[in-house]
Amino acid sequence: MRVLGIESSCDETAAAVVEDGVRIVCSEVASQVDIHHRYGGVVPELASRHHVEAICPVVEAVLGGCGMAPSDVDAVAVTQGPGLVGALLVGFGFARAFAFGLGIPCVGVNHLLGHVHSVFLDPERDPPAYPFVALTVSGGHTALYHVVDSLTMILLGQTRDDAAGEAYDKVAKMMGLGYPGGAVLDAMAVQGKTGGLVFPRALLDGDSLDFSFSGLKSAVARFLSEDEGATSCMDIAASFQEAVVDVLVAKAFLAVEIAGCSDLAIVGGVAANRGLQRRAAQMASDRGIRLHIPPVSLCGDNAAMIAAAGFHYLKAGKTLALDADVFSRATDPGRRVMVHR
């Protein structure tokens, strides 16, 4: 089954064709980074407008890249949420019209479940075995899930304030490194030394699986204002990265232990982080845990992961109702369980 995936939840307009939930036939991502760069963050209204401009060319490029006509598509999978409502609506409206016009099914995929399915798209590696633990670390989310089957993830813990990617972006902004700052800080951290400069690690005591990154962000801000340029930027980046990675890795492996799983997936934009990848790989090998991290091209937002997850929605018959709508937030924090629509 060839599924056309559509993603427009934030600042990437993406389309992809994926076969049977695992094989990427063609994938295209049109990034808006150049547009939002000067504002130091994503401007929702600008994002929506640029999705409108990009959606048709991106889908045409994907179908052209696969040598497929629209009538060769078997079904459409589109990100329904969470994300920016105006941005989501562009992909959602396009996908529903496209599917309706062709008389094929359309499913609405949870973006975070999509990120988790990115680990099933690497032809070089064995996929994780259910149940497994997933650490989703991105620009808007930092959470741990017990992934029970292809459509069910139970929230184990999440950030109480900033997401890890958000902390990267804010610290990069304070250091004048532009937006988004994750990859830049990562590259600097690799060249820096961590000795002496220790930033706080929140919620490491006990067995909480929640995260908090706002204190770390404030500590870096305080340090920068007092230091006045005396310490090398590389060393600050290295110390900041070490604090983030310490917490992410400690909690991820604690979740694996608590859930009694032997597979851990790390997904989302921050999964591309070299410091995080290195430490996670080392801990996984020490503990005999199988670690799954998607290739860098599938860590950030893309539509292949949406098509991959969508395949399972289709198999389960979860097609969209005519009055279905997009949603901005994924979970009810009180219930701490994510139920799929």
**Binding status of residue 181 toward ligand ATP by CB under 6 A:** yes
Minimum CB distance to Mg ion, residue 13 (Å): 10
The encoded tokens of residue 109 equal 């995929």
Q: Known binder of ligand: residue 138?
A: yes
Residue 114 or 275 having the CB closest to Fe ion? 114
Quote the CA–CA distance of 305 and 330 in Å, as a whole number. Answer: 17
Q: Helix, strand, coil % (nearest 5) of the chain?
A: 45, 20, 35
Query: Is residue 269 a contact residue for ligand ATP (CB under 6 A)?
Result: yes
Sign of torsion over alpha carbons 54, 59, 65, 67 = negative
Q: Which is nearer to ligand ATP, 21 or 300 (CB)?
A: 300
Closest C-alpha to 240, from 195, 211, 282, 198: 198
| Distance (Å, whole) CA 153 – CA 149 | 7
96, interface contact from Fe ion, Mg ion, ligand ATP, none, CB < 5-8 Å by kind: none
Residues that bind Fe ion (CB under 5 A): 138, 301
How far, in Å, CA of 205 to CA of 208, rounded?
8
Q: Is residue 162 a contact residue for ligand ATP (CB under 6 A)?
A: no
Of these partners, Mg ion, Fe ion, ligand ATP, none, which one is at the site of residue 180 (CB under 5 to 8 Å by kind)? ligand ATP
- Dihedral, CA of residue 168, residue 43, residue 301 and residue 113, to nearest 10: 90
Whether residue 229 is annotated as binding a ligand: the answer is no
Q: Is 115 known as a binding-site position? A: yes
Tokens 């018959």 appear where? Answer: 317
Q: Is 332 annotated as a binding residue?
A: no
Strands 12-19 and 23-31: antiparallel
| Closer by beta carbon to ligand ATP, 11 or else 263 | 11
Q: 179 or 313: whose CB is closer to ligand ATP?
A: 179
Beta bridge partners of 159: 211
- Using alpha carbons, select from 187, 250, 247 the residue that is nearest to residue 217: 247
Contact between 300 and ligand ATP (CB under 6 A)? yes
273 is in an annotated binding site: yes
- Least distance CB 36 / Fe ion (angstroms): 15
Region of 223 on the Ramachandran plot (φ > 0 left; ψ -120 to 50 alpha; else beta): alpha
Q: Which does 165 bind (CB under 5 to 8 A by kind): ligand ATP, Fe ion, Mg ion, none?
A: ligand ATP
Residue 301 labeled ligand binder: yes
The binder of 219, among Mg ion, ligand ATP, Fe ion, none, by C-beta within 5 to 8 A per type, is: none
Residue 311 CA to residue 299 CA, distance in Å, equals: 19
Span 224-263, contacts to ligand ATP by CB under 6 A: none
Q: Is 168 in the site for ligand ATP (CB under 6 A)?
A: yes
Gap between the Cα atoms of 147 and 96, Å rounded = 28
The answer to whether the annotation marks 140 as part of a ligand binding site is yes
Q: Which of 81, 128, 157, 165 binds ligand ATP (CB under 6 A)?
A: 165
Q: Is 10 in the site for Mg ion (CB under 5 A)?
A: yes
7 binds, among ligand ATP, Fe ion, Mg ion, none (CB under 5 to 8 A by kind): none
Binding pattern to ligand ATP, positions 17-56, x when CB under 6 A?
A: ----------------------------------------
Residue of 8, 156, 89, 138 lying closest to 327 (CA atoms): 89
The type of residue at 10 is C
Quick count: other Cβ atoms within 10 Å of Cβ 193? 12
Residue 146 assigned to a binding site: no
Between CA 25 and CA 315 the distance in angstroms is: 19
What whole-number distance in Å separates Cα of residue 79 and Cα of residue 341?
12
Q: Does 91 bind ligand ATP (CB under 6 A)?
A: no
Q: 222 near 168, Cβ under 8 Å?
A: no
* Binding site, annotated residues for Fe cation: 111, 115, 301
Where does this chain bind ligand ATP (CB under 6 A)?
Answer: 9-10, 83, 111, 115, 138-141, 165, 168-169, 180-183, 186, 268-270, 272-273, 300-301
Where does this chain bind Mg ion (CB under 5 A)?
Answer: 10-11, 301
* Binding site, annotated residues: 111, 115, 136-140, 169, 182, 186, 273, 301
